[in-house]
Structure 1
């Protein structure tokens, strides 16, 4: 580089050189004067400051030499920049193709399976809740004015058919008993007289009417037979359960006064429940009565409960914009409880689909992808459509063809390579 500088100076025109010599002579004179003053200032400084000045001068000299050498050696030349291929190809359809030259996937981590189309059920999700079957429930109510004397079965109590629930004092019931006893005694007297057969018939009719009145007030056949056998009335009316089940809700307290029609208690059979689900507008056309439904509950994540749709509401709910669908649920194991939230899968038909493990599906926001092997070192990430068959399987209805090699295990790991190449 120094040789180039010397050659440059030698190549200057002869007319320029005298001016350079003259300029150099004048500059040397002024520099000599300036240097004398600077030397005096320098030696007047303390040793520490003189050291700092020497360091600054040395650094400035190094910087100047670098600038000069940079300008002298600067040449315009083309620099070849090799573009590093990422190995990622993006197709217009949105499919990504990745090439991994020299990379061999571990078969214990990355497992491929051949795509085979099979018939799978087409399901729609139906959120809802469980409720008591209203057809298997009863409301126990007062059929005449009275007063609650005793309660036999409180909330949650198990009851059988005929089990006592409450005991009431009712003047109407006492009157009905007395009428029944009077007609019974009259009939017994008239039975021995053959000339009063017409009166006997009227007595029997009156006796039967009194018995029906007692039944309407809540008395059972056993209560009526007991009155006839003993010939005595009872002070209170015992209201009994009309079904086998539980007391869902009790509406009275001991000593409370009742009017005719007041609700005493609500009874239901916990073995028979309803599932009340909501079907949204886009699925209305696919539902009908009798379709099978599989229910899943958070309380029993590993269990499935089978139900069949038996009712579809004639109108949608204006608040939720959903259609009510109802299904009978058998609770033979007593695992279910009313008002439990449940999610139903309603089978509306069948379709051809490729069934893969959930681990084969890459989920990015609202989109679903599968990774396909198209060559020894080439892989494609393709968008797919489908739905969850269950917690372990996914049914691909669009995006994968018969015979393709689908990455069933390790799709998330390989997708990381796609993501890195996209960046």
Structure 2
């Protein structure tokens, strides 16, 4: 009996010890789980500081060169091309004949008008002789003179129509395309020559709203081309769009005088440098700090390990950095990656 009691006591003590250990482990596990849950509640982000940086105040933007003048010359009358007087690449002057076209209808009309004019002059001569002898009245003589004048005007009109059949350059430039050969039959509207003038070119660029205030009509702008790295050209601002596009950019047109050898070609990629190449100290943040886009003017700043959505006033763009005019101060940590997972007040953990 005594042995049974001792055995029961030992078993009870063992069970009590096991329960104590289990409860102790449970409390430890719950504490560890709470710590893990607390850590997992923080969103991992990358961050940088709002800081004073030395930046180049020159605004740089890109575009493509296009000719100041370009035209596709088309046939104005039907006919067969008798002669082609220029080749692709030839320089032409304003008014120069590029092709001679035999326009059948215009040729026949011209011959008829010439014959009518000669007949009217002969009739007038006879009427003038008859008038001297009293054979015709003054009224008949005046009608003969009017007939000559009408025939002369009709002849001039026919001569102009016949000359329209020939194709002439409307301005000085280069033949970029020639679409006809001798013997080609053309109809009104048939494209024959493309003429371009590259002695002066246009460069259309976009300037954002932060920098458009420093661009003025008549302003001199340095222009370069990536394919001509050792040459610099001078551009002049000729036009500033009064209205921005959907991206809040303003189209600006520059006019650039080509060099003597016309090294700049239409279609080349060009870079325009607005303002002087000067350095200045500016409060900036990385472009990636902005929520969505720079135009949103919203940034997550980190305070007490929390992401706080903050409204700022952004300024000029300097490549990877954006000027901050107001809203945050130097040394403020800002989120640069991971904003998509954040709400105002979200707990964050900064990762390298």
Name the structure 1 match of 2:253.
326
For structure 1, the 5+ residue unaligned runs are 1-91, 96-120, 220-236, 357-364, 368-384, 389-397, 399-423
For these two proteins, the number of residue pairs brought into alignment is 230
* Structure label with greater radius of gyration: 1
| 1:133 aligned counterpart, secondary structure | strand
Other-structure match for 1:189: 122
**Of 130, 143, 156, the match for 2:89:** 156
* Cα RMSD after superposing both structures: 4.1
SS in 1 for 2:114: helix
| Alignment-derived partner of residue 337 in structure 1 | 265
Quick check: 2:63–2:205 contact (8 Å CA) kept in 1?
A: yes
1:315-352 CA distances to partner (integer Å, 9 max, x unpaired)?
Answer: 5555x7643321222224122111111101134xx89x
User: 1:181-236: per-residue Cα shift (whole Å, max 9, x none)?
Assistant: 124313532553435233323332332233234324544xxxxxxxxxxxxxxxxx
Deviation at 1:161, TM superposition (A): 3.3
Aligned with 1:212: secondary structure? helix
1:245·1:267 contact (CA, 8 Å) conserved in 2? yes
How many Å separate the matches in 2 of 1:323 and 1:161?
Answer: 35
Aligned to 1:70: none
Contact 1:145–1:258 (Cα < 8 Å) also in 2: yes
Q: Return the offset for 1:130.
A: 1.1
- Check the 8 A contact 1:183/1:204 in 2, yes or no: no
Q: Which moved more, 1:301-310 or 1:177-186?
A: 177-186
CA distance in 2: counterparts of 1:278 and 1:216, whole angstroms: 45
Q: 2:200 aligns with which of 272, 276, 285?
A: 272
Correspondence for 2:60: 125
Q: Distance in 2 between matches of 1:216 and 1:322?
A: 48
- Contact 1:190 1:200 (C-alpha < 8 Å) held by counterparts: no
Deviation of residue 151 (structure 1)? 2.3
Greater RCO (CA < 8 Å, at least 6 residues apart): 2
CA pair 317-218 structure 1, distance change in 2 beyond 3 A: farther
Matched, 1:201 2:146: yes
Structure 2: give runs of 5+ residues left out of the alignment.
Answer: 1-48, 129-137, 289-315, 320-324, 326-352
TM-superposed CA distance for 1:366, in Å, is 7.9
* Pairing 1:62-77 to 2, within 5 Å after superposition: none
> TM-score, with normalisation over the residues of structure 2?
0.53
Residue in structure 1 matched with residue 35 of structure 2 by the alignment: none
CA pair 143-281 structure 1, distance change in 2 beyond 3 A? same
TM-score when normalising by structure 1? 0.45
Structure 1 residue 241 displacement after superposition: 2.3
The 1:328–1:197 alpha-carbon spacing in structure 2 relative to 1, beyond 3 Å, is: farther
* Pair 1:310-2:238 in alignment: yes
CA distance in 2, matches of 1:258, 1:325: 40
